[in-house]
Amino acid sequence: MPDIPFFDSAGFFHQKIGEVEQILIGKKAEREILAANRTNLERTLQTLALLTTEQQRAIQQELASLKEVLHSSERSIAALDGEIELLTAKLSALQTARDLLKVQESP
């Protein structure tokens, strides 16, 4: 008997759907963490804004650093939103294809 691998369509969809679901879960968790960080950064900056001008001048570097981290977090969230949207569409397409395969295989 020849050593030719057998391609299993159902197995292919099962594997790909599982992979995309795992990546999607990770991206959503990463986004939640970044959103929580953004909220905490905003709260910190709001609190520091209550300081006197002289006090704010004394921590000017820290303020600039926190603002840059906030902007970086916002960019990362926007990028993750795009990735999540793409992965959601990919997952939906794979699930639809899997369902179509089941219909084709049904007697």
Mean pLDDT of 4-14: 89
Q: Tell whether pTM > 0.85.
A: no
- Please give the pLDDT value at position 91: 98
Residue 98 near residue 59 (C-beta atoms within 8 A):
no
Domain around 52: 29-98
> Does a structural domain hold residue 82?
yes
**6 lies in some domain:** no
Residue 9 lies in a domain: no
Higher pLDDT, residue 50 or 2: 50
pLDDT tens column, 31-85: 999 999 999 999 999 999 999 999 999 999 999 999 999 999 999 999 999 999 9
What is the DSSP code string of 6-27?
PP-HHHHHHHHHHHHHHHHHHH
Residue 12 belongs to a domain: no
Residue 46 lies in a domain: yes
Q: Give the span between the Cα atoms of 97 and 74, in whole angstroms.
A: 35
Give the chain's domain count: 1
